[in-house]
Amino acid sequence: MLTVLLRILRRDLLLAWRRRADVAGSLAFFVIVCTLFPLGVGPEPALLRSMAPGILWVAALLASTLALNRLFAHDHADGTLEQMALSSAPLPLIVAGKVAAHWLVSGLPLVLLAPALALQFDLGSEAAGALTWSLLLGTPALSLLGAVGAALTLGARGGGVLLSLLVLPLSVPVLIFGAGAAGAEPGDATAAASLLLLGGLLTAALALGPWATSAALRIALE
């Protein structure tokens, strides 16, 4: 079981490395969106500081949704996805491997970039830390949830926009708890509670996501 997972992980990471430009694209999107907000609401430091957790979280959500197209599209195009569905390895396991690789390549960089962007918004170090932790827990949950949407819309008309329409409302709880954890006063009970709830969502997504995604994939591949 573990070997299958690691093999899929390695394969997808290798493929992502070969398409570095795609990966860099969604990261650039994240940075650009974070830059757009101050341009939209004005440079006042106090306002930006209070809005920062929300802005960064929404930007991360949008960037993560944008990147979801890559999850299955290439494998579907060259027929590898069908092979994966036919293989003896359980499809949820393969899906978990692909989502893990996808997160390492699209989600983790967002987490690592967050402290730097937090500086742009003059967030204190404690707040920036809370933000980073929340993104660390939240972005995998977003990837797992988004995978279901990516599988459902595989090859459908409307592509990425349809995917966003499906995934964004379902991502609201992750956004709320994530931004809540990031924006709460340090040491406040809500910060810990939000993180715990976020962790709960991540666990649920880990348990149910790959299974729902493989069901959706089989439907799409029929």
Partner 1 sequence: MTHLEGTTVSASHTLHTVRHAGGGKRWLRYAAPQSFFPLAGRAIPWLLGAALLLAAVGLYLGLVAAPPDRQQGDAYRIIFVHVPAAWLSMVIYVAMAIWAGVGLVFNTRLSSMMASALAPTGAMFTVLALWTGALWGRPTWGAWWVWDARLTSELLLLFLYLGFMALQAALDDSRRADRAGAVLALVGVVNVPVIYFSVQWWNTLHQGSSLSARGASMAPVMLHGMLVMTLALWAYAIAAVLQRLRCIVLERERHTDWVRQFYVESKR
Residues of this chain that interact with partner 1 (CB under 8 A) are 148, 152-153, 156-158, 162, 165-166, 168-170, 172-173, 176-177, 180, 184, 190, 197, 201, 212, 215-216, 219-220, 222
Least Å from the CB of residue 50 to partner 1: 11
Minimum CB separation of residue 156 from partner 1 in Å reads 4
Measured from the CB atom, the residue of 108 and 166 that comes closer to partner 1 is 166
- 138 with 60: CB under 8 angstroms? yes
Contact status, residue 191 vs residue 185, Cβ threshold 8 Å = yes
Half-sphere exposure of 56 (CA within 13 A, CB side): 38
Taking each helix axis from N to C end, the angle separating 159-170 and 172-183, rounded to the nearest 10 degrees, works out to 60
Smallest separation (angstroms) from partner 1 to the CB of 15: 26
Angle (CA) 151-154-159 rounded to 5° is 120
Nearer to partner 1, 16 or 148 (CB): 148
CA dist., res. 222 & res. 219, Å (int): 6
Which is closer to partner 1, CB of 104 or CB of 166? 166
Q: Whose CA is closest to 12, among 78, 94, 93?
A: 94
For partner 1, the closer of residues 64 and 171 by Cβ is 171
Q: Shortest gap between Cβ of 53 and partner 1 (angstroms)?
A: 12
In the bound complex, what is the minimum distance in angstroms from residue 177's beta carbon to partner 1? 6
Nearest approach, Cβ of 162 to partner 1 (angstroms)?
5
Nearer of residues 18 and 157 to partner 1, judged by Cβ: 157
Of 124 and 158, nearer to partner 1 (C-beta) is 158
Alpha helices (runs of H) in the chain, residue ranges in sequence order: 2-18, 20-41, 45-67, 69-77, 80-86, 91-102, 108-120, 125-152, 159-170, 172-183, 189-221
DSSP state of 43: -
Residue 59 contacts residue 34 (beta carbons within 8 Å):
yes
